[in-house]
Structure 1
Amino acid sequence: MAFGDDKQSGVSGGVTAVTSTVGNGVGGLLGTVGGVVGAAGRGVGETVTGVTGSYGKPVGDALYSLGDGVEGGTRKIARGVEDAGKGKKTW
């Protein structure tokens, strides 16, 4: 490949590499946090349902669903951050 054929050379290529690295790091961190919060919410929800039986089932189910929602939402945000770091359109 001849010099100058690279579409992402020089400063532009360097900026893209840095933003991609930062985007991947932040996206990975968000994914991890979302996974931990989601798992904790589901665990607490199951515990509440298990301890209280049918009386606490609505609260336990709500906590379980909240954990799933947080995890799914942060997963989408993390993917968007990673894509933005790579210069991809996120919408």
Structure 2
Amino acid sequence: MNNNDNKSSGVTGAGKAVTSTLGNTVGGLANTVGGVVGAASRGIGETVTGITGDVGKPLGEGVANIGTGVEQGAGSVAQGVKDAGEWKTSK
């Protein structure tokens, strides 16, 4: 029997199933948290800009950009966790 044909059987298959589920769960939570932080920061930034006008616009845009950066970073981390859970290797 060729062991290469059975890479997803037995203990390895069970390990992949557990890590895939865990990776998808953690990745999904990271996406959710990142999305909430990003949306909240953009909302706060828009509020600052709306209240202060042109004077506070740089601050409002900065807060919004920080939130977008956090959201994008969380998305990258989430994808990495999901990939690790599926035992994917770097390209």
> Under a length normalisation based on structure 1, what TM-score does the superposition of the two structures give?
0.92
Q: 1:11-62, CA deviations, whole angstroms, 9 ceiling, x for partnerless residues?
A: 1100000000000000000000000000000000000000000111010000
- The 3-state SS of whatever aligns with 1:54 is coil
Q: How many equivalent residue pairs?
A: 89
Q: Which residue pairs with 1:77 in the alignment?
A: 77
Q: Which residue pairs with 1:12 in the alignment?
A: 12
**How many Å apart are 1:89 and its aligned residue?**
1.5
CA distance in 2, matches of 1:61, 1:70: 14
On the 8 A contact 1:21/1:85 being kept in 2, the answer is yes
- The 3-state SS of whatever aligns with 1:59 is helix
CA distance in 2, matches of 1:27, 1:89: 17
On the 8 A contact 1:84/1:90 being kept in 2, the answer is no
- The 3-state SS of whatever aligns with 2:84 is helix
CA distance in 2, matches of 1:55, 1:63: 14
Closer, same or farther: CA 90–81 of 1 in aligned 2, 3 Å: farther
CA distance in 2, matches of 1:36, 1:73: 13
CA distance in 2, matches of 1:7, 1:86: 13
Q: What percent identity do the matched residue pairs reach?
A: 59
Q: Does 1:35 align with 2:46?
A: no
> Under a length normalisation based on structure 2, what TM-score does the superposition of the two structures give?
0.92
On the 8 A contact 1:80/1:90 being kept in 2, the answer is no
Q: Does 1:44 align with 2:44?
A: yes
Cα-Cα RMSD: 1.5
CA distance in 2, matches of 1:70, 1:90: 23
